[in-house]
Amino acid sequence: MATYSAKDIRNVVLLGHGSSGKTTLSEALLFGSGAISRLGRIEDKNTVSDSDEEEQTRGFSVNNAVLPTQWNNTKVNIVDAPGYMDFLGEVKSAIGVADGAVLVVCAASGVEVGAEVQWGYLDERPEPRIVFINKMDRENASFPGTLENLNTKFDATFVPICIPIGEAAGFKGVVDIVEMKAYLGADGKATDIPAEAQDAADEARMAMMEYAAEVDDELMLKYLDGEELTDDEIRTALMTGSLEGRFVLVLAGSGLTNQGLIPLLNAMTNYLPSPVQAPRTVVNVATGEDVVLEASSSGPLVAQVFKTMADPFVGRLSYFRVYSGKLNGDSRVYNVNREEEERVGQVYSVRGREQKPIESVEAGDIGVVTKLSITTTNDTLCDRGQPYRVPAVEYPEPLFSVAIFPSTKADLDKLGSSLSRLVEEDPTLRVERNTETNETILSGMGESHIQIATRRLANKFSVQVDIDLPKIAYRETITKPASAQGRHKKQTGGRGQFGDVYCRFEPLDRGEGFVFDNEVFGGSVPRSFFPAVEKGIREIMTEGVLAGYPTVDFKCVLYDGSYHPVDSSEIAFKLAAHLSFRAAVPDAGPVLLEPVYRVVVTVPEEFMGDILGDLNTRRAQVQGMEQSRGSGIVTAEVPLAEIQRYATDLRSMTQGRGMYSMEFVRYDIVPAHLLDQIRADAQRRLEKEKERG
């Protein structure tokens, strides 16, 4: 492929809810533009986009795929992003590297929740976009209905520039109302508009011209005088309106039948910005100031890695976009995030899994380099003398967690390093060690996300793991004061052990932790043993009296005791403190505490009743409900024990159209009738841990 300057490049992310037809559409665009000579099919597992074994097995995308093609003397880097909610991290990365977007919406299903989430991500920058109403050949397809749905769901003005001829089984092709040409069938040839579509085309063109005229005062005067706008004037106005976000252009077609592709390719090159038209704001590390960076190959080198993959044959693959300057192969660059120099080997252009060696990657373009030693996703590569940093992509918080255990001793030795490499590939995965439950926790966006991650551990890194639901980090506390003596006396010949304490235990407010104090008078317990008593309480409080969970939020006051001048020791007073705790806490109104999370659930309005009913079964306290553009939003506080699998359950209840976020709020008292079940679960886990060794 020829080298293109930044003004002749388009970096376009292809978005849409799962099953909206993005992968099929991307394959059709590559075929229709001549980038590939054979049209792949998802069913045949031979599409360029879904080249990963996991994608071919499951039949949907799990990774971003970079798919460059050429059209109208322009290089179009299509980034096909996954549509399923488990892979929103890939979506964020793809949006971050793109300058414009095509949102694919199914003509039968309309706007679904994945598209709504992705639209919100586009708004964060904001990023120019067009909408492609796909699957016009599908049963129940409706162009007017989908257009109305778009207007309901999104706060934007939608302007069709391509309309369908027929719908569902009667779908014949499309009319490009800028060119006033029809594209019938899959041969891609422009022809005259059929008579039955002429009136609709004329009406749509008049509406489009009105929006175009509003962009420019001179055009508006010309339009109001009854003069016809020229095609070039319309294109210029549509481009300006699109780039400024005044309206969103809408096209129609079918990726499956290769219809509507030429108008879509034209729209991508004509109405979405080049890197020159979408300069990025970066940070000058030397001064700390924000700088608007022009996309010029003669400028300072600034490139950001947006994706990292581990390839079993070539090692680490780092996908990057150059924002300024050019990245040459066989060179040295400065990683501003790590503050270290990085050696760059061969650089490649990439299409799906195919890699082609090239000398350099110019400003505005996307490339791949292998075997970087220190650079990971979100890192910026630049010149040491001109250090700039591209802002990092902010990824969504994980929603689904599992505890992972190595299957064998050999797996244990490799687990830590393999998990680190896995997180490098996918920043939406989180790995942490829960010190309260002594488990390694792997968190992601959903059950499928975790399943794929563990399969990658096995296939790429040869590490087998077992997974289980994480232990809930329950805690125990007390609700009223209680006192007890703890007396440890042991005589076995020679020097004995003697420690005697009287401790009072008082409840504290939630979150205050543990406080130790003393009220000893008269030297009944020497001051030198106070630390031993406190240490003893801190040791024993890790195993509560109800179910063995840590006891928190209480005060221990040592107020009396006795000692032996010879037999008393630090260990004796520690053990005496243990006995005092065990004796007093059962009389102090012990209760079990559980973590409670605030959950915000967004679903189509028709599912609101089901969601509220389900939340009630989960001991939720609903805080509020509201409606927004056809969606219902429920805010509730729910115990973590009730929502460990909520990512899976919500998608099942809402046909994959629901989403939620969650954040920790506080610890609350567990209802007494659940204690026996929690104790039994804790015992079963203990037995399972013994089996694992």
497-511 confidence digits (pLDDT tens): 999 999 999 999 998
407-421 confidence digits (pLDDT tens): 888 888 888 888 988
Does pLDDT of 56 surpass 70? no
If one counts every other C-beta atom within 10 angstroms of the C-beta of residue 423, the result is 18
Report strand pairing: 621-628 vs 631-639.
antiparallel
Does pLDDT of 55 surpass 70? no
Percent helix / strand / coil, the chain, rounded to 5: 30, 35, 35
Cα gap 241→220, rounded to integer Å = 14
58-85 confidence digits (pLDDT tens): 767 778 899 999 999 999 999 999 988 8
Cα gap 616→606, rounded to integer Å = 18
Residue 348's SS3 state is: strand
Question: How far is residue 301 from each of residues 328, 389, 613, measured CA to CA in Å?
Answer: 10, 11, 56
Which pLDDT band holds residue 494 (cuts at 50, 70, 90)?
low
Look-up: residue for tokens 């975790």? Answer: 450
619-659 confidence digits (pLDDT tens): 999 999 998 777 889 999 999 999 999 988 998 898 777 88
Cα gap 57→68, rounded to integer Å = 25
Domains and CATH numbers, the chain: 8-271 (3.40.50.300), 280-389 (2.40.30.10), 401-468 (3.30.70.870), 479-589 (3.30.230.10), 592-675 (3.30.70.240)
515-562 confidence digits (pLDDT tens): 999 999 888 999 999 999 999 999 999 999 998 899 999 999 999 999
Give, for 250, the enclosing helix (H) or strand (E): strand 248-252
Q: Are the C-beta atoms of residues 378 and 337 closer than 8 Å to each other?
A: yes
Look-up: residue for tokens 């793109």? Answer: 98
If one counts every other C-beta atom within 10 angstroms of the C-beta of residue 522, the result is 6
The values of phi and psi at residue 432, to 5°, are -150, 155
137-147 confidence digits (pLDDT tens): 999 999 999 99
Q: What's the confidence (pLDDT) of residue 692? A: 63
109-125 confidence digits (pLDDT tens): 999 888 988 999 999 98
Question: How far is residue 630 from each of residues 16, 115, 153, measured CA to CA in Å?
Answer: 18, 14, 7
What's the one-letter identity of residue 218?
E
Look-up: residue for tokens 């959950």? Answer: 599
Q: What's the confidence (pLDDT) of residue 412? A: 85
Q: Considering only CA atoms, which of 479, 500, 477 is closest in space to residue 490?
A: 500
Q: What's the confidence (pLDDT) of residue 185? A: 82
For range 207-228, the mean pLDDT: 88
User: For the chain, what is the radius of gyration of the CA atoms?
Assistant: 32
Q: Are the C-beta atoms of residues 519 and 559 closer than 8 Å to each other?
A: yes
Strand spans (E) along 539-652: 554-562, 591-604, 621-628, 631-639
Per the DSSP assignment, residues forming a β-bridge with 659 are 602
Does pLDDT of 446 surpass 70? yes
Q: What's the confidence (pLDDT) of residue 478? A: 96
Residue 206's SS3 state is: helix
For range 201-230, the mean pLDDT: 89
List the single range of 9-18, 45-54, 281-290, 631-640 with lowest mean pLDDT. Answer: 45-54
